[in-house]
Structure 1
Amino acid sequence: MEEDHSLDRIDRNILRQLQRDADLPNTALAQRVHLSATACLRRVEKLKARGIIRRTVAMIDPEAVDMTTLVFVGVVLDRSTPESFEDFETAARSLSGCLECHLVAGEVDYFLLLRTRDLARFNKLHAGEIIKLPGVRQIRTFFVLKEILSTTELPV
């Protein structure tokens, strides 16, 4: 029998609330979604067990930790083989300041999202790590001038 992955209105409301504030105490969450504290906790635990809530994290203000430079890096590999993709992806996971790595279709193979202190720190990262990633043929760098929207909230 296949597991039902559907979410009801209450589950979706719980997810919306927790995306906005994962520190919300269970009693306050229960009030917001109109459940008893016990029923609410049971639903949250079920959402975690099902892998819908993968983990809970703290969102840090980049300015507070002097990481205000945001950079998109497009990477073209020299070969398009499963091995070259695997080697690149393994190395990219440990790249300093790398927040995201995505295999994409189009003019580049991957987009990396990096956060660093400043241009000088990015140049050091570029010369010391990025161009040394396995299989890199070409890099295209895009510096973010202004963040218009940055969110982790999914529209559930």
Structure 2
Amino acid sequence: MKSRITCHIKTISGLAILVAFGFIINACAPTISQFNETAYQQAVELKVRSMSLIDRADEPYSGHEEAAQQLKQDMLTAFEYAKGRPKNDISARQWEIMVDPDRNLMGGFLARWEEQQTLSPAFIGEYSGVVADAFDTIIGLESGKIKPGEVE
């Protein structure tokens, strides 16, 4: 009888170890998407175009409306691309804030420029730094992700 109890205890202990090992392995699984070249290129290109457009905001918006509308569309495309990737909630949220016309990043900048038609050099200078930093955050997050085939 004693050996049967010992055998059951060993079996239960073995199962507990296997279950614990399973939890440990699962905890090691990536919780963020892998690096994506397309997402990285989109972010870099959109930063360059955004900074160029910001520099022109002391001129009437109407003269740059086509470029501004195309930039908005391309940023929304990047946002949708980010949302569609698995385990990419952090990047998608950053893009959501970037494009929102009611926030203080590129979407808000373009909305204000359209509304006021021209912006002061001081305002442009301040906004330029904030938007550049936000793009750098998106770019840095993507470039810091694990590349396919790379081990942590």
TM-score bracket, normalised by the shorter chain, equals under 0.3
> RCO greater where, 1 or 2, for CA within 8 Å and sep 6 or more?
2
Greater radius of gyration (CA): 2
More strand by share: 1
More helix by share: 2
With the length of structure 1 as denominator, give the TM-score of the two structures: 0.27
With the length of structure 2 as denominator, give the TM-score of the two structures: 0.27
